[in-house]
C-alpha cells in the first residue's frame, strides 16, 4: 500500500445523502476478488444510462471533474452492505480522499485498509468545502495528513481528527499484511522456538 503523507487534487461536490455501497459499486460487479478494474463501474447506475452512454449531468462525467480525486459528500456516505469492493472501486477510479459529516462504520474502516482517507467534519466545514468544490477544476484541495489539515482553493485551513493508529498506518503505507510483516522477526523467532519445543506440531 502506498504511503499517504500529503495530497493535492480536484474536489468534486457530491451532496447527495445516504450514498450506499450499491450506488458506489452495483452488485453485478462483485464477482471479482481483484482490487483493480472496478473504477470504470464506480457509480455505474448514476454514470451511465441503460445503453451504456454517459449521463452528462452526473458530476464525475463533467469535464471539470473527470480527474477528481477528492469527494466532498453528503451525510452517511458508504452505508448499506459491507462490500469491500466499494473502496476498491473508488480507489481504482482515482479517489484518495472522501470528506463527509459521517460514514458507515464498515466502509469507513475499509477505506483505511485500502489507502484511502475518509475525513469526518462538522456540517459547516463540509458546506464550505462543498461550495469550494463547485468551482470545478479550479477547486484543488490540499490534504496534509501529518498536520491533519485540509486547505481549500481559497486558502481556508480546516483541521480534522484521525485515530493515531490509523494515521500511523496511512503515513507508513501499512495495511493488515504490512502490519503483520513488521513483526516478521518475532514471528520467525516464535516459529523456531516452537519447532524445537514441539517438533510434532
pLDDT by residue for the chain (201 residues), tens only, comes to 889 999 999 999 999 999 999 999 999 888 777 777 899 999 999 999 999 999 999 999 999 999 999 999 999 999 998 889 999 999 999 999 999 999 999 999 999 999 999 999 999 999 999 999 999 888 899 999 999 999 999 999 999 999 999 999 999 998 766 666 666 666 666 666 666 677 776
Beta-ladder partners of 158: 150
Q: Report the C-alpha dihedral over residues 124, 125, 126, 127, rounded to 10 degrees.
A: 50
Structural domain includes residue 1: no
C-alpha 114/C-alpha 90 separation (Å) is 10
- Could you tell me if residue 163 is inside a domain? yes
**Domain count along the chain:** 1
> Which candidate, 13, 40, 15, places its Cα nearest to that of 29?
40
Which domain CATH number covers 38?
A: 3.20.19.10
Per DSSP, 5 falls in state S
Whether residue 197 is contained in a domain is answered as no
176: nearest Cα among 89, 109, 118, 82: 109
Task: With respect to residue 58, please indicate whether it lies within any of the assigned structural domains.
Answer: yes
Assess if residue 89 is contained within a domain: yes
Q: In terms of residues, how long is the chain? A: 201
Residue 97: predicted pLDDT:
98
For residue 128, the enclosing domain spans 6-191
Characterize the bridge pairing of strands 117-120 and 97-100. parallel
186: in domain: yes
Helices (H), 29-84: 44-47
Residues 127 and 147: their CA atoms lie apart, in Å, by: 22
User: What whole-number distance in Å separates Cα of residue 53 and Cα of residue 63?
Assistant: 15
Cβ neighbourhood burial of 94 (10 Å; 0-12, 13-18, 19+): middle
DSSP conformational letter for 65: G
Asked if residue 70 lies in contact with residue 9, where contact means CB atoms within 8 angstroms, the answer is yes
| Residue 189 confidence (pLDDT) | 66
**What is the enclosing helix (H) or strand (E) of 86?**
helix 85-93
Tell me, yes or no, whether 199 lies in a domain: no
Please provide residue 151's backbone torsions phi and psi, each rounded to the nearest 5 degrees.
Answer: -115, 120
155: phi > 0 → left, psi -120 to 50 → alpha, else beta; which? left
Confidence at residue 73, expressed as pLDDT on a 0 to 100 scale: 98
| Cα 189 to Cα 114: distance, rounded to the nearest angstrom | 30
Residue 198, domain member (yes or no): no
Amino acid at each position: 500500500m502506498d504511503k499517504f503523507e500529503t495530497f493535492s487534487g480536484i474536489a468534486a461536490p457530491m451532496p447527495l445523502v445516504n450514498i450506499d455501497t450499491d450506488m458506489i459499486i452495483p452488485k453485478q460487479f462483485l464477482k471479482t476478488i481483484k482490487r483493480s478494474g472496478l473504477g470504470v463501474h464506480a457509480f455505474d447506475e448514476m454514470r451511465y444510462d441503460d445503453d451504456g452512454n454517459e449521463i452528462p449531468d452526473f458530476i464525475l462525467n463533467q469535464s471539470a471533474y473527470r480527474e477528481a480525486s477528492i469527494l466532498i459528500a453528503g451525510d452517511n456516505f458508504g452505508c448499506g452492505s459491507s462490500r469491500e469492493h466499494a473502496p476498491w472501486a473508488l480507489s481504482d477510479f482515482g479517489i484518495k480522499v472522501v470528506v463527509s459529516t459521517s460514514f458507515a462504520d464498515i466502509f469507513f474502516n475499509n477505506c483505511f485498509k485500502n489507502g484511502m482517507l475518509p475525513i469526518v467534519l462538522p456540517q459547516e466545514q463540509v458546506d464550505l468545502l462543498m461550495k469550494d468544490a463547485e468551482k470545478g477544476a479550479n477547486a484543488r484541495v490540499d490534504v496534509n495528513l501529518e498536520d491533519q489539515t485540509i486547505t481549500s482553493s481559497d486558502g481556508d485551513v480546516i483541521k480534522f481528527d484521525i485515530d493515531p493508529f490509523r494515521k500511523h498506518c496511512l503515513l507508513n503505507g501499512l495495511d493488515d499484511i504490512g502490519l503483520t510483516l513488521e513483526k516478521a522477526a518475532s514471528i520467525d523467532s516464535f516459529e523456531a522456538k516452537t519447532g524445537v519445543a514441539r517438533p510434532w506440531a
